[in-house]
Structure 1
Amino acid sequence: MTDGITISQAAAFAGVTVKTIRHYHLHGLIQEPRRDSSGYRRYGTADLLRLVQVRTLAGAGVPLAEIGTILDADPEQFSAALVDVEESLTDRIDELIARRETLRQLAHGNRVLLPARALALLDRMPGLGFSEDDVTTAREGLVLARALMPEGFDDYLSQIEHGLDDPRHVAMIKLTWSAGNWAPDDPRIEELAEEVAAHFIADPSLLPTLGGLQNRDDGETRYEMLTRHGEDERPGWTRLTALIEEKVRSAGIEVP
């Protein structure tokens, strides 16, 4: 025992791997011990004690870069350093808990990306007769709207709330969305565009304005991204939207 123990024995006694000990050597946390006549490192009791101390602090989450300073400090500094480490770990735990909650919410779709007010609107939709696909499309659209026009998002939600309170408007929305599955040249699109345009002309307050984009230099680009969302899956929308806008403008109502 006076000659010390090998690195393999030290690793086994301390509950780490040989690779870990070498990693500690590389970072200067443990001095490389003397070698015997055969060229093998031999670890004494002081080396083993230091190894256990380093392993314990590393296992508690202390960064390797801070372990050496903590172990070499006097008792008062050591205690203070551990308090700092504990506070840092608590912050990390809180952050990890928040991340875990985010992941749990993401498992239920994009709900975590929207405020409670927007989620309440989505939760109303099934009771109004909207399909699961409709709710998904609406949720994705709201996520995009919040990202692309953050300043006007609350006003946009107010418009939607106003519209959902109007049974006829809800019926128009459902008709419009069902038409997304029609072919662009379906003759029913022209008829539906006439009906929807007349609905907006009768009550322009139901027309979504996307006012949060009007003062932006790139507002037109953002508008296109918002209004064209979902058209790949619903090809009838492009022509229907264009016809509705044309008819509303023809009635003297500004469409931004």
Structure 2
Amino acid sequence: MKNGVTIGQAAAFVGVTVKTVRHYHKLGLVAEPERDGSGYRRYGSGELLQLVQVRTLAAAGVPLAEIAPMLDADAARFGAALADVARQLTERIDELVARRDTLHRLADGDRALLPDRACAVLARMPGLGFGPDYVAAQREALVLARALVPEGFDGFLAQLEHGLDDPEYVDLAKRGREAETWEPDDPRIEELATAMADHYLASPALRGDHAGLQAWAKASAQYKLINDHRGDQAPVAARLTSLTEAKLRAAGVRLPNR
């Protein structure tokens, strides 16, 4: 009876494929036995032990490239190597959990792109009388603001929160939407711009904090992209925004240049 088993038997005993065993040989992780008189490689207990060790480490998440030095390491180095692998696995687990959470958020629509606090702001708007188009525009603006000016996002969000708590701001915002149906030279546009600017000047919370204002003041290109992200913006809306901003700048409020 010949000593040892064939590569197929060795693979089956250890729980891997023949292709995997050959890959271990190629990487130098397991010694390749000599051929016997019949031309077959026979795997003895030594090779089987190596196969089990490599398979166990690989199954535990140790990269194949790091297994060879571990097999020759003393107890202290082996323990340190295992600890490093454990750290890497923890990082991968955290990354996978974050990806899973993102998938869950995707199922909830806005929560995939915006934090819960921003979603709460958007959820309040319909109850205050804002229509779907307005809410959609605000959603897009928030997504862009978070991506393009992250350091100014919290301030922008706080301004919206304060605005929704302010009945006069809500009324002015609704009038701004109504104004989109006016003629571009309607004198009410100038009056509304003055009312909006005056209300902003009288309500510091609506203008944002110092850090947020600085962030936006340095982001002119991003500011323009966010404000003009809807190519179908009514001419009246653009004029109303321009007039309001001009009045605020004249009063000393720092705003990005378009």
Q: Does 1:146 align with 2:146?
A: yes
Residue 8 (structure 2) aligns with:
8
What are the equivalent positions in structure 2 for 1:20-59 lying under 5 Å apart?
20-59=20-59
Worse-superposed segment, 22-31 or 39-48: 39-48
Contact 1:201-1:253 within 8 A present in 2 as well: no
Residue 18 (structure 2) aligns with:
18
Shift of 1:80: 4.1
Secondary structure of 1:23's counterpart equals: helix
**Structure 2 counterpart of 1:240, from 224, 236, 239:** 236
Q: Does 1:105 align with 2:109?
A: no
Residue 211 (structure 1) aligns with:
213
Contact 1:146-1:153 within 8 A present in 2 as well: yes
Output the TM-score relative to the length of structure 1: 0.76
Residue 96 (structure 1) aligns with:
96
Alignment deviations for residues 77-136 of structure 1 (CA, whole Å, 9 cap, x no partner) = 434433443343233323322332233223323435444543432232232233455434
Rounded to whole Å, the distance in 2 between the matches of 1:177 and 1:39 is: 86
Shift of 1:239: 1.0
Structure 2, unmatched stretches of 5+, are: none
Residue 137 (structure 1) aligns with:
137
**Cα 1:44–1:174 shift into 2, 3 Å:** farther
Contact 2:7-2:43 within 8 A present in 1 as well: yes
Q: What amino acid does structure 2 have at the position aligned with 1:211?
A: L
Rounded to whole Å, the distance in 2 between the matches of 1:252 and 1:225 is: 20
Contact 1:163-1:170 within 8 A present in 2 as well: yes
**Cα 1:221–1:91 shift into 2, 3 Å:** closer
Rounded to whole Å, the distance in 1 between the matches of 2:57 and 2:245 is: 70
Q: Does 1:128 align with 2:124?
A: no
Shift of 1:37: 3.6
Secondary structure of 1:203's counterpart equals: helix
What is the Cα-based RMSD across aligned positions, in Å? 3.3
Shift of 1:196: 4.0
Shift of 1:158: 3.2
Secondary structure of 1:40's counterpart equals: coil
Alignment deviations for residues 184-226 of structure 1 (CA, whole Å, 9 cap, x no partner) = xx6556657456425314424478688345643xx33222101
Rounded to whole Å, the distance in 2 between the matches of 1:153 and 1:250 is: 23
Q: What amino acid does structure 1 have at the position aligned with 2:8?
A: S
Q: What amino acid does structure 1 have at the position aligned with 2:5?
A: I
Contact 1:5-1:42 within 8 A present in 2 as well: yes
Secondary structure of 1:36's counterpart equals: coil
Shift of 1:175: 5.4
Secondary structure of 2:109's counterpart equals: coil
Output the TM-score relative to the length of structure 2: 0.76
Rounded to whole Å, the distance in 1 between the matches of 2:106 and 2:56 is: 36
Residue 197 (structure 1) aligns with:
193
Q: Does 1:161 align with 2:157?
A: no
Contact 1:102-1:112 within 8 A present in 2 as well: yes
Secondary structure of 1:118's counterpart equals: helix
Contact 2:57-2:67 within 8 A present in 1 as well: yes
Rounded to whole Å, the distance in 1 between the matches of 2:132 and 2:30 is: 60
Contact 1:7-1:18 within 8 A present in 2 as well: yes
Residue 183 (structure 1) aligns with:
none
How many corresponding residue pairs? 245
Rounded to whole Å, the distance in 1 between the matches of 2:241 and 2:82 is: 66
